Structure 1
Amino acid sequence: MNVKHLVFIVNKFSRNGGSIISKLERVMPLFECTYDVHITRYPKHATELSESLVKERKQDSIIVAVGGDGTLNEVLTGLLNADSKPLTPLAYIPIGSGNDFARSLQLSFNLKESIHKIINTTSSTYLDVLIGESNSGNIVAVNSIGVGLDGMVINSLEKNKNKQRIGKFSYLASVISAYFSQKTFSLEILTDKGTYTYKQSLLAVCTNNTFFGGGIPIHPNALSTDGMVDLVIAEKVSFFELLTILFSILTNQKHLQHKKLHSYRTAFCNLTITPSQYGQHDGELISQKVDQLSVKTIKHPFFI
């Protein structure tokens, strides 16, 4: 595919979104490629934009999400909603706060380098996307879908409007704070390997990439190309055990060897959560507390 036109969907509310328009105006004349810029103006606007732009897209153009993981998620959701055949490829320029998708795939954070790579990519790379079904509706994620402690963290960050400042260390500090509020819950799990029950759970997260929470390697061996869901369960731990686990995450990434952490690689997982818990997908709060969650993967084309 010879890319001749880029369609940017820009989240101007992301960490560096305020200056990205002027940067695009300076950089794009360096390339023999035309472009349009569409700016998001309210939550979920990127989904509306991408869904409508698919219908207008020409074969030599690429839709480019410009923002953080949340923006990428919204744009991808719009493409999936459009249900185009063949599937519409998606490119991404990371300028947000978390950028876990870019970090996991080692994408460039330099605007000029990112655009050069997109324009000179000749074919799509098919990556796994997490598709969830829950009592709150359908869920899409490029990185993770989780309930419990991580949902509590995102709920707290959204209430305090601190998400734009999120990073690895600030997220871990939020985990420590949320630990004292998070009550344990019962978890019944069905996978292609069998059924499992945990009576005192703190966290259940389905991962598709190594990182979540702004650079935390929640599952160092997770891959977005293997067609599998990597499920991580955390049982109730003491505060000292929590600190030990967090230290391991930051240093040797051997935290999954801890006796209170469990991981499963599975083609799908069905979770029953009692009582219902806050949930998150790609760092965005799920609209209502979750008590039922089913997750699998599908393939989607990316220009990366």
Structure 2
Amino acid sequence: MGFKFVFLINPISGGGQGKVIFNFLPEIMASMGFAAEEWKAEFTHYEGMEAQILDALSHTETLIAVGGDGTVSAVLSTMLASDFATRVKIGLIPLGTGNDLARVLKLYKPFVDQGLLFLVRRLLRAPAVPFDIWKVNGKYALANYFSGGIDARIAHDFNQDRASGAISSSSVVANKLHYVRRFFADRNYRLTQGSLRYVDKYGKSHSLDLKGHRTLIVGNIPSFASGTNPFFRANMADGFLEVVDVPNMPAFLLAIAIGNIPLLGYIFKRHFLKSIKVHSLEMMVRPDEFLQLDGEDMSGRLGEKISIEFAAQVQMLRLED
């Protein structure tokens, strides 16, 4: 049996908002004229999640991931390991902390400003647009960004604090405030060793020494770490990644503070921040270097050599301006 829509809902995202959405969906879908047999909703399970995603992909035209960027990344990683990447459209209802992908797909603001009913009504009628997916070490899907350095250290420590119960609140605002505290605690961190090899948009190979630099950010979309934009011209469907080398703390702070300011950000990113369009890359770091992928801590899971290459182009639901 096939469904027009399958909703995979992370029950703990957004402080448990996933459970609220699960309960409201029958009323919302009925109000839009969808019969019960045309759609399905279920909670994701940590154990056996890959099989659950595969089953959903094989029984629907459109899979709606309800959760944070990590939930979408799990869906996309499973898609790349199957033959569904070009057959099933993907939608997102954003419940995470950063929600960078939802921002560029024009989903985040309508959800925050006008609520679930408004977003679902528009999302289920939204057009699908091409979206590049990249593969990290031949296994993990990169949809948003990858980085190693101070921002990955902050993400790692934040996740550790959340796992240990040091973060008492589950609200988005409380999470962001804790991120700020982690920044001040980790402000002296830098890459103690590292190098980058990449093939640029003209097909030429280059290398770069990263020792002592604050971070290296690799972006597929024009949004990073909850809506900042350190990328000069990131495009989610051009077959290139945007690589930003951040050598020092002033450059890191300016990239976050003014990256979204139209003229000032353009001048800074065009002339002062090293930004390169690449086809593929290899990054060498310490095996215990702090790394993050689409906002998820990947420290200790990728080894000392990280390769990123184009994997596929999928269809993502995006609201029109």
Please say whether Structure 1 and Structure 2 have the same fold, judged by a TM-score greater than 0.5.
Answer: yes
Alignment partner of 1:184 out of 165, 188, 192: 192
Matching residue of 2:235: 223
The CA distance in 1 between the partners of 2:65 and 2:227, in whole Å, is 20
Deviation of the 1:257 alpha carbon = 5.2
Is 2:54 the partner of 1:51?
Answer: yes
Against the structure 1 CA distance between its residues 92 and 104, is the aligned structure 2 distance closer, same or farther, given a 3 Å change threshold? Answer: same
Which piece of structure 1 moves more, 174-183 or 103-112? 174-183
Offset from partner CA, 1:143-175 (integer Å, 9 cap, x none): 011112222111101100158647666545533
Offset from partner CA, 1:65-86 (integer Å, 9 cap, x none): 0111111111222222232375
Matching residue of 2:66: 66
Deviation of the 1:208 alpha carbon = 0.6
Q: Is contact 1:207–1:222 with CA below 8 Å preserved after alignment?
A: yes
Matching residue of 2:317: 303
The CA distance in 1 between the partners of 2:299 and 2:51, in whole Å, is 18
Matching residue of 1:283: 295
Against the structure 1 CA distance between its residues 276 and 219, is the aligned structure 2 distance closer, same or farther, given a 3 Å change threshold? Answer: same
Deviation of the 1:129 alpha carbon = 1.3
Matching residue of 1:293: 306
**SS of equivalent to 1:156:** helix
Is 2:33 the partner of 1:39?
Answer: no
The CA distance in 2 between the partners of 1:119 and 1:282, in whole Å, is 24
Against the structure 1 CA distance between its residues 164 and 272, is the aligned structure 2 distance closer, same or farther, given a 3 Å change threshold? Answer: farther
Matching residue of 2:118: 113
After TM superposition, the score normalised by the length of structure 1 is 0.83
Matching residue of 1:84: 84
Structure 1 gap ranges (5+): none
Matching residue of 1:14: 13
Structure 2 gap ranges (5+): none
Q: Is contact 1:54–1:82 with CA below 8 Å preserved after alignment?
A: no
Offset from partner CA, 1:93-119 (integer Å, 9 cap, x none): 222221100112222424333333343
The CA distance in 2 between the partners of 1:85 and 1:195, in whole Å, is 31
Alignment partner of 2:205 out of 175, 194, 201: 194
Q: Is contact 1:188–1:196 with CA below 8 Å preserved after alignment?
A: yes
The number of equivalent residue pairs is: 291
The CA distance in 2 between the partners of 1:227 and 1:218, in whole Å, is 19
Offset from partner CA, 1:32-56 (integer Å, 9 cap, x none): 22321110233x754332112223x
The CA distance in 2 between the partners of 1:45 and 1:287, in whole Å, is 23
Matching residue of 1:256: 269
After TM superposition, the score normalised by the length of structure 2 is 0.79
Q: Which amino acid aligns with 1:194?
A: S
Identity %, equivalent residues:
21
Q: Is contact 1:69–1:282 with CA below 8 Å preserved after alignment?
A: yes
The CA distance in 2 between the partners of 1:220 and 1:117, in whole Å, is 30
Q: Which amino acid aligns with 2:193?
A: F
The CA distance in 2 between the partners of 1:250 and 1:171, in whole Å, is 20
Against the structure 1 CA distance between its residues 242 and 150, is the aligned structure 2 distance closer, same or farther, given a 3 Å change threshold? Answer: closer
